[in-house]
Structure 1
Amino acid sequence: MLELSINNLDQLKSVSHALSSEIRLKMIHLLNQRTMNIHELGEALEIPLSTAAAHVKVLEDALLIITELRPAKRGVMKVCTRNFDDIHIQLNKPPENSAKQEDFVTVNMPIGQYVDFEVSPTCGMANGDGVLAAEDNPVHFYDPIRTDAELIWTRKGYFEYKFPITIPADAVITEIQLSAEVCSEAPNYDPHWPSDISVWFNDVEIGTWTSPGDFGDRPGRLNTGSWGKTTSTQYGLLKTWKVKKDKTTIDDVFLSQVTVDDITIGSNSVLPVKIGIKDDAVHKGGINLFGAGMGDFNQDLNLKVLFTRA
């Protein structure tokens, strides 16, 4: 369920605008039945492909649908999935004496602030000005210049981060979310280069997602300077892992049976988060991690912990 309130007017206006179009409402209805690409939506609604793409962008910006680039006969296609079953709009202020109020803390972690890693060529790090150190030499991942990285990559291995969690002692964690822009790591780039990317919270594997490829067909929206003119990786896909009370999802699609009760976190503690490629992965296609300033999304690794208090 999507929860909206007058406390977040920007999101409320975005969703209201998205729902104000008959075509967009019909798109959501079609996506109730199955995932569809933009071409299929355009054909079903008898509208031009460019018009369908514009409407999809509005729904995507409002978070009412999620999209993913998948391999097609010619390049890639954007596949659309409905993101929510229900929308709840709260127009009044919640009572202050509610028995339980959900709260949250967020931590933004620069991608170069890993505490442990394992990398193998092809590997390297860069920012908008270009490559920060000689590529394909793992020793450079110890270099302090890594803190300037806005893009890091490796063909196999992992990066591990430690997120400080400062929540009240009586807090009961209800959900843990990790958001990151990520893709596979191919020579130069290749949209048809699958990679099984896994995530661990506190050494508990929460699930594996298969990235469809490594994207460089256009400059990343944030890429400027020399990197925006290369023929290498330019952007990734924004993915959100959510460990809940009953399951783990990725972009709100079921991923595994791992729950928050399987992840041990206390107040004023540290949560180790690892992302990478398992040794026994079927698709060992590497990983690119994007930070704020490069790719399509202006964010670092973002961790959000939701909790309630009595």
Structure 2
Amino acid sequence: MKSKHLSPDEEAVKVLKAVANKHRLEILRLLSVRPHNVNELAAKLNLPFSTTATNVKKLEDVELISTELVPGRGTQKVNAKNYDRIIVDLFEKETEINDKQFFIDMPIGEYFDCKVHPNCGLVGEKSYIGMQDDPRAFYEPGRKEAQLLFMRHGYVEYRFQNKIPYGTKAKEIEVAAELCSEAPNHKLDWPSDITVWINGKEAGTWTSPSDFGGERGFLTPSWWHTNYTQYGMLKRWRITSEGCFIDGNKITDKVTIKDLELEKHPFISIKIGVKDEAENKGGFNLFGPKFGNYEQGIQLTVET
């Protein structure tokens, strides 16, 4: 399933204007079934040929559909869709690096350590990796290709290269990941307390409300059944000199950036998991860039 991703810029404005019309939306729907020429579209829409041709041209101008010459009774123009979905990313991707910041996007299969309890599994872009519900699958050589990782409880730990310049101190650190609870198939009422630790210090616990499914994630492959987990929520853990925050909301001031002692270690440890003693022990799903709704792995940003 091919998606067109848009940032909130001039291109997005043009595309959204093009689809803000019921006839053009119907054209896109018809082309999702099979290619049509303008005569066929006009007949199905019950519109004049000229009106249909104008609408087709507007969709062509923003590259949502394409037209090619096909031999038939003479040569005729046939229209086809270019995309299955249009996605507007309203969040800012933190990929710009300056001399006071470093950024790493870690693949979810590149964990350093793990403790896994069934239900559990690793899923690649095209198939499962190893056996489902077998913790031994988490040690498969192919685990680095994982795009979805799930378990009932336990954790995965990642070690990011420490790029803080010598002689400087970190002012804040942020971890961002797409996550949700883990239930058999999926379950919308299934809370789970998901915790993040940074260098062994607890950064905060977020209670996921659901294991989201039933509606396909924007990036989730078509072979993955819709009654399985489909997508999560993008959550951000941040620690500063003032304390710990989740999505900008202060959780505690008992742990600060100083407590992490980031400058003393060659790596930065990020652990994601569900505690054995959690009140809501509903597991977790962790999504990679080719599953779910967000095109990313585990993102680490450090400012100095």
Is the TM value for this pair above 0.5?
Answer: yes
State the AA in 2 paired with 1:131: Y
Query: How far apart are 1:217 and its partner, in Å?
Result: 2.1
The answer to whether 1:208 aligns with 2:237 is no
What RMSD, in angstroms, separates the aligned Cα atoms of the two structures?
2.1
Query: How far apart are 1:127 and its partner, in Å?
Result: 2.1
Query: How far apart are 1:224 and its partner, in Å?
Result: 2.1
How do 1:12-23 and structure 2 match up within 5 A?
none
State the AA in 1 paired with 2:248: D
State the AA in 2 paired with 1:136: D
Counterpart secondary structure, 2:215: coil
Aligned counterpart, 2:230: 234
State the AA in 2 paired with 1:290: F
CA distance in 1, matches of 2:230, 2:300: 23
CA distance in 2, matches of 1:117, 1:62: 30
CA distance in 2, matches of 1:142, 1:183: 23
Distance verdict in 2 for CA 1:137–1:62, change over 3 Å: closer
Query: How far apart are 1:186 and its partner, in Å?
Result: 0.5
Aligned counterpart, 1:252: 248
* Of 237, 244, 263, the match for 1:266: 263
CA distance in 2, matches of 1:169, 1:232: 46
Identity of aligned residues (%): 41
Find the structure with the greater CA-based Rg.
2
Aligned counterpart, 1:79: none
Counterpart secondary structure, 1:266: helix
How do 1:135-174 and structure 2 match up within 5 A?
135-174=132-171
State the AA in 1 paired with 2:242: D
1:234–1:295: 8 Å Cα contact kept in structure 2?
yes
Query: How far apart are 1:128 and its partner, in Å?
Result: 2.8
State the AA in 2 paired with 1:221: F
What do residues 169-221 of structure 1 show as CA deviations (whole Å, max 9, x unaligned)?
Answer: 12121100000000000010011100000111111111111011100121110
Query: How far apart are 1:232 and its partner, in Å?
Result: 0.6
State the AA in 1 paired with 2:90: D
2:117–2:135: 8 Å Cα contact kept in structure 1?
yes
1:165–1:271: 8 Å Cα contact kept in structure 2?
yes
Aligned counterpart, 2:72: none
Aligned counterpart, 1:288: 285
Distance verdict in 2 for CA 1:249–1:193, change over 3 Å: same
Query: How far apart are 1:286 and its partner, in Å?
Result: 0.1
Structure 1 stretches of 4+ moved >6 Å:
none
2:203–2:238: 8 Å Cα contact kept in structure 1?
no
How do 1:294-309 and structure 2 match up within 5 A?
294-307=291-304
CA distance in 1, matches of 2:208, 2:122: 20
Which structure 2 segments of 5+ residues have no match? Answer: 1-6, 14-86, 93-97
CA distance in 2, matches of 1:62, 1:152: 24
Aligned counterpart, 1:61: 90
Distance verdict in 2 for CA 1:136–1:244, change over 3 Å: same
What do residues 91-136 of structure 1 show as CA deviations (whole Å, max 9, x unaligned)?
Answer: xxxxxxxxxx971001111100111101111000102313222111
Aligned counterpart, 1:5: none
Which structure 1 segments of 5+ residues have no match? Answer: 1-9, 18-56, 64-100
CA distance in 1, matches of 2:152, 2:127: 19
CA distance in 2, matches of 1:256, 1:182: 21
Query: How far apart are 1:222 and its partner, in Å?
Result: 0.5
Q: How many pairs are equivalent?
A: 217
TM-score by length of 2: 0.67
What do residues 9-32 of structure 1 show as CA deviations (whole Å, max 9, x unaligned)?
Answer: x77x69xx9xxxxxxxxxxxxxxx
1:107–1:302: 8 Å Cα contact kept in structure 2?
yes
State the AA in 1 paired with 2:244: T
Aligned counterpart, 2:103: 106
Query: How far apart are 1:155 and its partner, in Å?
Result: 0.1
TM-score by length of 1: 0.66
2:129–2:140: 8 Å Cα contact kept in structure 1?
no
